[in-house]
């Protein structure tokens, strides 16, 4: 019996020693400002995955790790290998637009760690002051549009032309854009059946409002 007991212990030890430890994947990157081209510290990075997460298949994305970028704009995760289909990375910071991207897991493994560069755009506001300072008659008109605003939820800083008419125009329009960017404003003024057009570049300031006067 004692001999059998010792053999059983030996088999158990052998089994445990042969059991594979779970492998880990190194997943990291660097975050910089899209238009200032400088690294961004303090960005909350959320790593999600779909596929088999914790032994359960998930068609939707499940959060598997979070981190915050350091002084060099870098973040790193060490995650356990699993049969993931894809990863989703979300970048968030006050004063910045949320940024999100999906990365296929096809070429990511313990032997092939992932490291990439990411960008995040700062928020900025434009306060456009329109004033008819030399009115001619009620047919005075100004038409304007922004040619290159990267913000998708355009509000009034749109690439769609907007028109305001009348002699007593004195109004301010506030809209959103990105910081450290040259926003192109194109406008056409019609007075006394004479049309004049011009373009201006409005340089935005991150986390601030730029006031731009259009006096016509």
* H or E element at residue 17: helix 2-18
Q: What is the pLDDT of residue 70?
A: 98
**Phi-psi sector, 42: left (phi>0), alpha (psi -120 to 50), beta:** left
Q: Looking at the domain that runs over 22-120, which CATH code has it been given?
A: 2.60.40.1120
Taking 50 as the threshold, does the pLDDT of residue 10 lie above it? Answer: no
Domains 22-120 and 123-215 share a fold: yes
Q: What is the pTM of this model?
A: 0.82
213: β partners: 129
**Can you tell me the distance from the alpha carbon of 132 to that of 137, in angstroms, rounded to the nearest whole number?**
11
Q: What is the mean pLDDT of residues 74-95?
A: 95
The answer to whether 50 and 58 have CB atoms below 8 angstroms apart is: yes
In this predicted model, which residue has the larger pLDDT, 94 or 19? 94
Q: What is the pLDDT of residue 154?
A: 56
Q: Going by DSSP bridges, is the β-strand pair 194-203/114-120 parallel, antiparallel, or unpaired? A: unpaired
**Domain residue spans in the chain?**
22-120, 123-215
The rounded percent of the chain whose pLDDT value lies above 70 is 88
In this predicted model, which residue has the larger pLDDT, 158 or 21? 158
Of 3-12, 128-137, 140-149, 161-170, the one with minimum mean pLDDT is 3-12
Band of the pLDDT at 2, cuts 50, 70, 90?
Answer: very low
Fold of 123-215: Immunoglobulin-like (2.60.40)
Q: What is the DSSP letter of 122?
A: B
The rounded percent of the chain whose pLDDT value lies above 90 is 79
* H or E element at residue 8: helix 2-18
pLDDT tens by residue, 91-140: 999 999 999 999 999 999 999 999 999 999 999 999 999 999 999 999 99
In this predicted model, which residue has the larger pLDDT, 23 or 141? 141
């Amino acid at each position: 019996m004692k001999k059998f007991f010792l053999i059983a212990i030996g088999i158990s030890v052998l089994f445990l020693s042969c059991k594979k430890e779970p492998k880990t994947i190194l997943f990291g990157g660097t975050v910089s400002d899209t238009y200032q081209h400088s690294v961004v510290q303090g960005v909350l990075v959320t790593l999600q995955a779909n596929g088999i997460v914790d032994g359960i298949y998930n068609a939707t994305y499940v959060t598997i790790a979070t981190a915050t970028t350091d002084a060099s704009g870098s973040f790193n995760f060490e995650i356990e290998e699993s049969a993931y289909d894809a990863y989703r990375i979300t970048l968030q910071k006050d004063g910045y637009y949320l940024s999100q991207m999906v990365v296929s897991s096809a070429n990511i493994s313990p032997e092939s760690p992932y490291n990439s560069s990411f960008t995040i755009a700062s928020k900025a506001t434009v306060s456009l002051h329109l004033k008819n300072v030399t009115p001619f008659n009620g047919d005075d008109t100004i038409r304007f549009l922004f040619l290159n605003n990267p913000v998708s939820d355009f509000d009034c800083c749109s690439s769609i032309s907007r028109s305001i008419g009348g002699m007593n125009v004195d109004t301010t329009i506030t809209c959103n854009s990105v910081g450290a960017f040259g926003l192109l404003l194109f406008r056409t003024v019609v007075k006394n059946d004479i049309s004049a057009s011009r373009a201006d570049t409005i340089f935005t300031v991150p986390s601030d409002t730029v006031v731009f006067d259009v006096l016509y």
